[in-house]
Amino acid sequence: MIHYIGIDISKAKFDVAFINPSTNKVKTKVFNNNKAGFDLLLAWLKTNVSNHLDELHIILEATGVYHEHLSEFLDDNNIKQSIVNPNYVRKFADSLGVIHKTDKKDSIILSRYGYSHKPEIW
């Protein structure tokens, strides 16, 4: 089973969301946008989502350069990822009736977008 994890990233931090498809429960976590945060993310994913990294698919928005180091880290760890157009995700959020935006909500929307649209691997 593929698990879609949404990550909303900014200069200093990134918000991560995982939706368990069998229970529809959401798990979220915030990490620093640096190597230490990337390592903590990997441990969190193994503990809270799946120890099998080939079952993970990360959904990121193309937001300037802030996602680049994390994207390289994911690639180095053979974790599938999609870097999606923010406009597509915004329209998806609108279709869900989402009005107020927060980083946490954005990461949840990215996870839902992954399950719904199954974007191509980057």
Give me the torsion for CA of 35, 39, 42, 48, rounded to 10°.
-120
Sketch the domain layout of the chain as residue ranges: 3-117
Identify residue 53 by its one-letter amino acid code: L
Record the pTM: 0.95
* Of the candidates 56, 57, 77, 81, the residue with the CA atom closest to the CA atom of residue 67: 81
pLDDT averaged per 10 residues in sequence order, the chain, 122 residues: 96 96 94 98 96 96 90 97 95 91 93 96 92
Class of domain 3-117: alpha beta
Task: Kindly report the length of the chain.
Answer: 122
Residue 55 neighbours by CB under 8 Å, 6+ apart: 1, 2, 3, 49
